[in-house]
Structure 1
Amino acid sequence: MKTNRRIIHIDMDCFYAAVEMREHPQFAHRPLAVGGASGRGVLTTCNYPARAYGVRSAMPVFKARELCPQLIILPVRFELYRAASKKVREIFTRYTDLIEPLSLDEAYLDVSHLRRPGAEIAAEIRATILAETGLTASAGIGPNKLIAKVASDWNKPNGQCIVAPSKVDLFMRELPVRRIWGVGPKSATRLSENGIETCAQLQLKDKTWLAQEFGSFGLELYKLCRGIDERPVQANRIRKSLSNERTFSKNLESLEACQQALIRQHDEMIEDLRQSAPDRKIAKLLVKLKFSDFRRTTAEMPGQKPDLKHYQQLLREAWGRSGEPVRLLGIGVRFAESEGSSEQLELAL
């Protein structure tokens, strides 16, 4: 792969839980999670001691307590996490203006214009974050966003991985298909049933076969398994929408499970609206689902108030189109066009 691009993906380690451990050092080495405290609630995230018991984000509280009875569960404190995120992003600006935040705890940085090695820059950024916030971050460095994001998960927590352009082919060939973004347990099982465990094996399949097996996602897989990603790091975009999306490590098997996840994501989105777009007029409300068979559907309605009841209505509508287990849930708003603007609004779910 010939390219001069150097992209860093920074991913904070168990961010909400890490911030709470910083605030409560007595819990630093104990299993800790952030999320709903009731038995019907779900977890937003958890620390690594909790993960050792099998506890995961988006897991119902009752299940987490069955796996880890001594689990400490703290309520979500958005103001605290946003303050930490703001500090981290300020550190990013010392190195580049080409920053594309993905969420409070991760972002892409394009450092192609800097003469220093990408790995050196990433290590310095991570050290600065630790020194100034007390939080650890992991990083992936690669020639595009896909490679950087996969690499950032390679040496977690508090580590980094670099994939040079000349090493992309080898890196992708040896990469397990389950490590590709978008490949969940069911698709990994389907690939395995066809004798496909690595990207090298997936590369032997043509577009026709992939499309037949996975629909439109199969065409994405054709490029992803080869490490192809030409998307630029998009900084300072005019926000046309705001959304909150989760891909679950374990599919949500029922409408009730989706409703529980919806409550958590709605709370986060409302806080994001209050912080980042308090004066923007809302035109539409949307819910997006991706099912276990990779089919997608979006339900939407006109409206200016992002009330939970409206999203619950949209969720029931979207769920009713399939009833299959859900691997991704997204909710969002489309902002009204500014006066005099004819641009079409798109929801970046």
Structure 2
Amino acid sequence: MPEFLITADNRRIIHVDLDAFYAQIEMRDHPELRNLPLIISRDPTESNGRGVVATANYAARNLGVHSAMSAAEAKRLAPDAFFMRPDFQKYKMISQQIHHIFHQYTDKIEPIAFDEAYLDLTDSVLTGATLAAKIRHQILKETQLTSSIGVSYNKLLAKLASEFNKPNGVTVITKDNALDFLARLPIASFRGVGKKTQEKFAVLGVENGAQLRMIPQETLRAQFGKMGEHLFWQARGVHFGEVQWHRQRQSVGKEETFDQFVQTRDEVNLEFKKLAVGIVKIMKNKKLVGRTLNIKIRDSEFNTITRSVTQSVPFKLEAGSIVSVAQTIFDENMNTDFSIRLLGISLSNLQSSGFEEMTLF
């Protein structure tokens, strides 16, 4: 197998990331907070130390505060910061306003969260840099919010590009500069590399993409499992995932965000059981069944994995069956060391249970 995969990838993918989205909205709406460290979370002094940081402005980040940190730790790092409870309904409305802007350029949009999305603009006659500038300008004009945008020929590089020049920047990665860009990138910036993975790479003497590219594929796979395989191709800028814009809109699901991160497979299994019981109850009440089972995993560093399995016949409305599939997907995609802040399960490709009985008969 050749060490590098040659592709004719001529796509134009943009990743849009609103800068400290929740905090930026609150600073816009409350100008008196603009020069203060602002943390979007419950104040731990009012919640017996509980709560998790949703985001923080850059003044707070400069003090060491980051998303998914416990509110108590954020308070210790930034004792004079202003804590504000999140208003997700407001954030959702503003996100919809921003997506309306996206739709003026393309309908090939994959939303990742309220504050970020991938856009496939391959069909546009404009250059990627021009499109990024126009979208940034329009978001700022209509919402008074800044964004960072990455432009490249696949989703991986577009995401890395948007993170490279934050806040309020544009980075374009082309086929000519991709390998140089990745070579200089710190190992911590690669997708899926958390604190524990960084520690393992430090032992191996790997600090950047150039050094990562020197490690054989078999060694990475042996050291890091499936993640090692992903990192091998990341270091070479190879990613074939498409912008998922034809998504099944109708679904029934539940998800749970944890104040205390889930760190064992037994805990994961227990949480999957709780979610599955709730979904089965809703599906039976609505007299629905579904052929696609979707799993959502978000770790402590806000990396999100979504996976789905589709069957030719609907899934049995039994919590045990759903949990078994969910756990298998989890095991296939997560290393032995993990710290999970959110788990979700949903069923899509829905149809009435009466229709299921007719077709089976």
In the other structure, the counterpart of 2:351 is 338
Q: Does 1:117 align with 2:137?
A: no
- Give the 3 Å change call, closer, same or farther, for CA 243–88 of structure 1 in structure 2: farther
- Aligned with 1:165: secondary structure? coil
How far did residue 177 of structure 1 move? Answer: 1.9
- 2:17 is paired with a residue whose SS is strand
Alignment of 1:267-346 (within 5 A): 288=297, 326-335=338-347, 337-339=350-352
Partner Cα separation in structure 2 for residue 142 and residue 30 of structure 1: 35
Shift of 1:330: 3.1
| 8 Å CA contact retained: 1:12, 1:106 | yes
Partner amino acid, structure 2, of 1:32? L
CA contact under 8 A between 1:2 and 1:165: conserved in structure 2?
Answer: no
Distance 2:24 2:255 in 1: 21
Name which one, 1 or 2, has greater alpha-carbon Rg.
2
Q: Do the aligned residues in 1 keep the contact of 2:294 with 2:347 (CA within 8 Å)?
A: no
> Offset of 1:244 from its aligned partner?
6.2
**TM-score normalised to the size of structure 1?**
0.75
Please provide the CA RMSD for this pair: 3.8
Q: Does 1:15 align with 2:21?
A: yes
Structure 1 residues 305-336: Cα deviation after superposition (integer angstroms, max 9, x where no partner): xxxxxx9xx99xx9xxx9x8633433112226
Q: Which of 111, 117, 121 is the equivalent residue of 1:101?
A: 111
**Percent identity over paired residues:** 35
2:239 is aligned with 1:233: no
Unaligned runs of 5+ in 1: 271-278, 305-310, 343-349
**Which whole-Å deviations, capped at 9, do the CAs of 1:61-83 have from their partners, x for residues lacking one?**
22211111111111111110011
Contact 2:19 2:166 survives alignment (8 Å): yes
SS in 2 for 1:338: strand
Q: How many residues align?
A: 302
CA distance in 2, matches of 1:119, 1:285: 34
User: How big is each residue's C-alpha offset from its partner over 1:212-265, in whole Å with a ceiling of 9 and x where there is no partner?
Assistant: 10011111111111110011111131145757699xxxx95978xx99xx9xxx
Out of 190-199 and 329-338, give the one that drifted further. Answer: 329-338
Point out the more displaced range, 129-138 or 237-246.
Answer: 237-246
Alignment of 1:118-157 (within 5 A): 118-157=128-167
Counterpart in 1 of 2:310?
A: none
Deviates more, 1:47-56 or 1:200-209: 200-209
Equivalent residue letter for 1:111: L
- Of 146, 160, 170, which residue of structure 1 is paired with 2:170? 160
Corresponding residue SS for 1:326: coil
Separation in 1, partners of 2:225, 2:57: 36
Aligned to 2:31: 25
Q: Distance in 1 between matches of 2:125 and 2:227?
A: 37
Shift of 1:88: 0.4
Amino acid at match of 1:207: Q
Of residues 50, 59, 68 in structure 2, which corresponds to 1:58? 68
Q: Distance in 2 between matches of 1:288 and 1:109?
A: 22
Secondary structure in structure 2 of the residue aligned to 1:76: coil
1:110 aligned partner, one-letter code: D
Q: What SS does the corresponding residue of 1:197 show, helix, strand or coil?
A: coil
